[in-house]
Amino acid sequence: MNRNRQSVQKVQRPRVVIIGAGFGGLAAARTFAHVDAQITVIDRNNYHLFQPLLYQVATADLSPADISAPIRAVLRRQRNIETLLAEVTGIDTARRVVFARDRADGREQELPFEYLIVATGAGQSYFGHDEWEPYAPGLKSLTDATAIRRKILLSFEAAEMEPDPEKQRAWLTFVIVGGGPTGVEMAGAIADLAHKAIVGDFRHINSASARIVLVEAAPRIFGAFPPKLAANATRELERLGVEVRTGKDVEAVDAEGVVVGGERLAARTVIWAAGVQASPAGRWLGAQTDRAGRVIVTPTLSLPDHLNIFVIGDTASTHDRRDPSGKPLPGVAPVAMQQGRYVARLITRRLRAQRSGEATDEEAPFVYYDKGYLATVGRAFAIGSFGRFTLSGLPAWMIWSGVHILYLVGFRNRFLVMAQWAWAYLTFQRSARLITMDDHAEAPQVAQPERQQAIEPPTPARV
């Protein structure tokens, strides 16, 4: 045990610690609004992030502030809540203590708890090929999104200055690995950016000639949607100019491109959206996990040996208990939010029973209420599955837009995103096309002409 850790003085009221202020953690925290307990929310960032719209930050449609909100501001009216900007480094389940490192000065603290909710989300999985990560970044955070935005926009800038046609094509080739919602939405957004938003902005390249390739190892994209909707989405992607390659495995990724099904694709921008892996929470808890690192929990979302510790969202391995096949619940925001509210209400009932000295009623297991699934494909086209009812095209996109606006935290963000979307829809323009970079960072390398030769600009492309 680190001797430098400082123990936080125990409070008189029972303490509930929530690790993570994503959809699940924030839903739990809000549900505790009027509970007589000390609620402590720990997050390594000081903001709540609306992850479903990260791809729009990565493709210059929205700014980071449009899809995020300070956690303290969101929870400021709840006087029983404290928020800590810290990174969790471990959990002692026997002592009921969370170890956290202060993000400001690096001090380590011990935070005692009576109840613990772990909602730490998930990261990218490269299926045993972590060496691909530097060349194929994933999209899980604002840092990822701004880095990908910089990478995409710099590719067009590098192509503008590249005299070699073959290398120029590599700069203008974008490969997205993964045919789920993130990959499809990213491919469609890049196609809109290249083929519509920035056409005419350059003098030596035609951005509409950009090649966007979507790679999926499964037989079709959108495996969680009905085949008919997946086919509609494929046709829309192809209409946007996206090459859809299904049934193809990625065999190699490096700085110069990818190998897909034995074919080499020269591409300077590769984006990974093919899989997820849970946070290290399973190791912290010493709990049993599945192959993706998700913690296996009881029907009430607690650990089998520690009924006061709950794991929710992408960190937990849960199943639809009404489905005889035991189908796993998807890693989407509604699942995490419903689980967060369920756990908070369960803990609230236990706390009230403790104060009254009464026995708690038998606790009903968590049941997910599926309200349907939506995904967008480029501009003004989406697909939706609502049980037996399916929808695609503009009507689905309008529902998708309304649902995402509704789930955003804060009136300001809702208003700004609606305004940005309206502007983009009417003008095809992207308002967040800023390239922010470290002045000391290494810039993309383009071919340099010999010094003794006169430098001639590339031949202008015909638009």
Question: What one-letter code names the amino acid at 326?
Answer: G
CA proximity to 61, closest of 69, 50, 53: 53
Rg (CA), the chain: 24
Catalytic residue among 114, 160, 162, 185: 185
User: Bridge-partner residues for 35, per DSSP?
Assistant: none
Sign of the torsion formed by the C-alpha atoms of 193, 196, 197 and 200: positive
Strand partners, 91: 98
In angstroms, the CA 83 to CA 320 distance is 32
Distances (CA, A) of 244 to 56, 219, 317: 20, 11, 31
> Residues 33-51, buried b or exposed e (16+ Cβ, 10 A)?
eebebbbbbbbbbebbbbb
**Whole-angstrom distance, CA of residue 190 vs CA of residue 414:** 23
Q: Is 108 a catalytic residue?
A: no
SS (H, E, C) 243-258: EEEECCCEEEEECCEE
Amino acid at the residue 398: M
Two structure tokens written together for 394: 């503009």
- Is the Cβ–Cβ distance between 39 and 18 less than 8 Å? yes
Among candidate residues 59, 254, 255, 233, the one with its CA nearest the CA of residue 139 = 59
End-to-end CA distance of the chain: 65
Q: How many CA atoms lie within 13 A of 206 on its CB side?
A: 8
Q: Which residues are catalytic?
A: 185
